[in-house]
Amino acid sequence: MALSLLPGPYRKLVQVAVCAFVLLFSLCAQAGVLSKKDIEKIFAPSMSVGEQNPGLPIWPLFERNGPKLELRGYAFESIDLEPVRGYSGKPLNLLVAISPEGRFLEARLIGHKEPLFMSAEGTAKLNDFAGQYKGLTVNHSIDIFGPKARTQRDESTAALHGVAAGTVSVKAIDRSIMESAMDVMRAQQELSSGGAGSKTQASSASAPRLAARHTVMDWSELLDKGLVGSARFTRQQIEQSFAGTPAQGNDKLAVQAPNELALEQYVALIGIPQIGRNLLDADGWRQLSANLRGASQAVLVTESGPLAKMAYESQRVQTPIPIVLRQGGRELTLRSMAYDKGLNVPGYPQDVRAYFLLIDRATPLDPTQAFDIGLRLGRRYGSFAAQVASADFPLAYRLPDAARWIASSYEPAWLGSWRNRAWELAVLVLGLAILAVALLRQKWLSAKQERLQIFRVAYLLFTVGFIGWFAQGQLTIVNITSALESLLAGRDLGFLMSDPMTVVLWAFVAITLLVWGRGTFCGWLCPFGALQELISLLVQRLGWKSRHLHTRLDSQLKWIKYGVLAVILAAVWWAPPFAEAAVEIEPFKTAISSYFQRDWPYVLWAAACLLLSVLVYRGYCRYICPLGAALAAVGILRRWNWIPRHVECGTPCQSCRHRCEYQAIKPSGEVDYKECFQCLDCVAIHQDDERCLPLIQERKKSQRVIPIAPVLSA
């Protein structure tokens, strides 16, 4: 363990600090799954709670009207139906109740792992946001604004106030409430129509989703509105299609019963949420979402009738994809999707054969235009049935009112966040480009000390003000632990995409780690680190100089952050609740993400870290930060020693080492890139003939030369 390398007194000090930290920040409890008694306490005495249907995690709510009990709604936990993941990568859980007509009777938060809101006050803020859904319906169009916005609503739209620094979390709550409620509405329609299908508990794995807003429709409504196309073929029609081929006459029943239905076909563009979310169950919708990443659209084709499952190849040859799709005179490329979930829509024909097909991006389908889709039937004939004759049975289809339905067509849930923050992303990318150019031209930048100081202070202000406080782009160890927990649970990393600022920053950091090491992020792009440095610079102007610790003590203290990182990562595997508390060792969420608006223990810890940076230059970053430790560990992949050195560096010159605020230069003159914050001070010294000993000696040598001038005699 890294702690064993510390002297006894320091080792005890660290152990005491860890124990105090655990006691201070392990105050958050996670609510469990509600029982029937819990539901009764919430809705009593106005309503009584009935029993759940088998396989359907929904409690019916009844109200007494004289001697009768009348159904008033359904109560359920969102995590059982739509496990939408928040910023932590874990699903939020809400108690939701809706009326049979789809109006929300209750919406309250009962469980979450969102790192910014683990305290009682933070949870109350999220619960207050969820409470705004009371009185709305599943078909309301909802917009979420800032934390100070007024809640406004009418019969079809609603404007809700958000929560400061909680954009990802409140959007996850919105999706949890709306999507789980739509699942319940569909299940309720299924039960009331007497359908055989039932909604089963959704898997906790949550794939990237399609846009969620849709209107609940049953099978007959989908047909009436033309969202599902259909065609019917009699035996005589099919026989006529083979007229003139050697396979004509293979169906003997075509003569005896020419008008008998032989094949009934349905087609639907299930990649459009209004269609797909009504036809597929929740698990099926998640599976489709994952498969649509590499496709332009998805189509469902079903067939029923005597020829649907015909086993005689003289009447039908079975092929993997007996579907032909044409649009604009060309045939589109189809590939089959291995679909193992359910078709769950009230009134849907049960005895069907279904084909789930993805349309390749190379031959995209335009859903606003008409297309032909149909079955290609083959019949064997000849000696030993070695030859095949084929006939196509097309169905002309065009999505009615396409603009209305395609407005919510396939789109990952995170894409809206990227679109809404386009200008912020543009400013960030421009800022990163400026930083990259400056670091590539480090010698020019640091050739004049004043130029370097102005640029550095200006960029640190940009990092704190824009990246941190305004755009909420503070990278954190939570990004790493959430990703690990999702992978361990078998979930994907799609939830990370909901925060575009951190995605762009992580991409830039990943690239610069290979070029310059951890210093690019820790020295330039960490808002909390920039805040520490700016405070230190301000205090220095007032006459206070931070201490340089003894080289050996400094070296030993730098191991602490690796120990902290090891504890957090180990807890992800063996003690997840402890990991959720342990990540609060980062003061980032308090000082940057929450603007110090948190419970007093968090504010006290953040203030202590800032005070430490005044006493010891950026002490938190150098000795405690687990994210810095992770970046330093990955920094071994760095390919270049980019800081210029003289032969005399270390012996005899120690100028850079004594002036390095981070104590990242060894007595030998070698730079310890794991501890370098890329401030460029040593690069400036390297080319300054007033501070660099080799350059000073060269200058003095040139000044000793006395020019010889000829003397003219009289």
pLDDT digits (tens, 9 = 90+) for 337-384: 888 777 766 666 667 788 899 998 888 888 888 888 888 888 888 777
The token duo for 513 is 């780690």
CB 163 within 8 A of CB 129: yes
295: three-class secondary structure by DSSP:
strand
Structure confidence by residue, pLDDT tens digits, 293-325: 667 789 998 888 888 877 777 778 888 888 889
Of 475, 467, 402, give the one whose Cα is nearest residue 434: 467
In this structure, the strands spanning 387-397 and 371-381 are: antiparallel
C-alpha distance from residue 571 to each of 152, 202, 506, 580, 643 (Å) = 44, 28, 23, 9, 37
The pLDDT of residue 17 is above 60? no
**Band of pLDDT at residue 615, cut at 50, 70 and 90:** very high
CA distance 558 to 446: 28
The pLDDT of residue 29 is above 50? no
**Band of pLDDT at residue 623, cut at 50, 70 and 90:** very high
Dihedrals phi, psi of 41, to nearest 5 degrees: -65, -35
Q: Please provide the distance, in angstroms rounded to a whole number, between the alpha carbons at the two ends of the chain.
A: 87
706 or 422, which is more confident:
422
The pLDDT of residue 415 is above 90? no
Name the DSSP class of 61. Answer: E
Q: Kindly state the average pLDDT of the residues 572-589.
A: 89
Sign for the CA dihedral angle at 421, 181, 85, 134 comes to positive
Strands in 345-428 per DSSP E: 353-360, 371-381, 387-397
CA distance 61 to 202: 22
In the chain, where the domains are located: 36-193, 219-406, 415-698
Using the CB atoms, write b or e for 524-541: b if 16+ within 10 Å.
bbbbbbbbbbbebeeeee
What Rg do the C-alpha atoms of the chain give, in angstroms? Answer: 34
Q: Kindly state the average pLDDT of the residues 10-36.
A: 46
Backbone torsion region of residue 396, taken as left when φ is above 0, otherwise alpha when ψ lies between -120 and 50, otherwise beta: beta
CB 393 within 8 A of CB 241: yes
Q: Using CB atoms within 10 Å of the CB of residue 196, give its burial: 0 to 12 exposed, 13 to 18 middle, 19+ buried.
A: exposed
**Band of pLDDT at residue 127, cut at 50, 70 and 90:** very high
CB 671 within 8 A of CB 649: no
The token duo for 437 is 């150019």
Strands across the sheet containing 228-234: 228-234, 261-268, 295-304, 353-360, 334-336
**Band of pLDDT at residue 706, cut at 50, 70 and 90:** low
* Percent of the chain scoring above 70 in pLDDT: 87
Structure confidence by residue, pLDDT tens digits, 473-491: 999 999 999 888 888 877 7
Which residue blocks in 575-660 are alpha helix, DSSP H?
576-582, 588, 600-615, 619-623, 626-634, 655-659
| β-pair partners for 601 | none
The pLDDT of residue 23 is above 80? no
Q: Say which range, 102-111, 664-673, 702-711, has the weakest mean pLDDT.
A: 702-711
Name the DSSP class of 316. Answer: -
Residues comprising the chain, all counted: 714
What is the pLDDT, as a whole number, of residue 192? 59
Q: Say which range, 78-87, 204-213, 272-281, has the weakest mean pLDDT.
A: 204-213
150: three-class secondary structure by DSSP:
coil
Give the orientation angle of helix 449-462 with respect to helix 422-440, to 10 degrees: 160
The pLDDT of residue 698 is above 70? yes
The pLDDT of residue 190 is above 60? no
The pLDDT of residue 492 is above 80? no
The token duo for 168 is 């990802």
CB count within 10 Å of CB 325 equals: 23
What is the pLDDT, as a whole number, of residue 503? 94
Structure confidence by residue, pLDDT tens digits, 236-258: 888 888 888 888 888 878 888 88
| Three-state secondary structure readout of 660-679 | CCCCCECCCCCECCCCCCCC
For residue 96, the one-letter residue type is V
What is the pLDDT, as a whole number, of residue 501? 93
Q: Kindly state the average pLDDT of the residues 72-95.
A: 88
What is the pLDDT, as a whole number, of residue 312? 76
Q: Give the containing element (helix H, strand E) for 15.
A: helix 8-25
The token duo for 299 is 């189509």
Structure confidence by residue, pLDDT tens digits, 531-544: 999 999 999 888 88
CA distance 680 to 455: 11
Q: Kindly state the average pLDDT of the residues 496-505.
A: 90
- Chain centroid offset of residue 682 CA: 39
CA distance 166 to 161: 11
Give, in degrees to the nearest 5, the angle at Cα 689 between 685 and 693: 75
409 or 448, which is more confident:
448
What is the pLDDT, as a whole number, of residue 616? 93
CA distance 621 to 675: 10
Q: Would you say the pTM of this structure is higher than 0.85?
A: no
**Band of pLDDT at residue 705, cut at 50, 70 and 90:** low
